[in-house]
Homo-oligomer: A and B are copies of this chain.
Amino acid sequence: MQYLPPALEQLVEHFNRLPGIGAKSAQRLAFYVLDLPDQEAESFAQAILEVKRSITCCPVCQNLTEGEGPCALCSSFKRDHSIVCVVADPKDVIAMERSGEYNGLYHVLHGVLSPMNHVGPDDLRISQLVQRVASGEVQEVIMATNPDTEGETTAMYISRLLKPFGVKITRLAYGVPVGSHLEYADDATLARALEGRREM
Contact = CB atoms under 8 A, between A and B. Distances in A.
A51 interface: yes
A5 B90 CA distance: 11
Interface string A61-78: 000111000011100000
A91 B27 contact: yes
A87 interface: no
Interface stretch (A14-22, A123-131, A138-146, A158-166): A14-22
A8 B55 CA distance: 8
- For this chain, the copies found in one complex come to 2
Interface residues of A, number: 53
A7 B73 contact: no
A10 interface: yes
B43 A14 contact: yes
Interface in A28-48: 28-34, 36, 38, 41-48
A55 B94 contact: no
B66 A6 contact: yes
A50 interface: yes
19 contacts: A2-B97, A4-B94, A5-B71, A7-B54, A7-B66, A11-B47, A11-B50, A14-B43, A14-B47, A18-B32, A19-B29, A20-B28, A31-B90, A33-B48, A33-B52, A34-B51, A41-B48, A45-B48, A48-B48
Interface of A: 1-8, 10-11, 14, 18-21, 25, 27-34, 36, 38, 41-55, 64-66, 71-73, 90-91, 93-94, 97-98
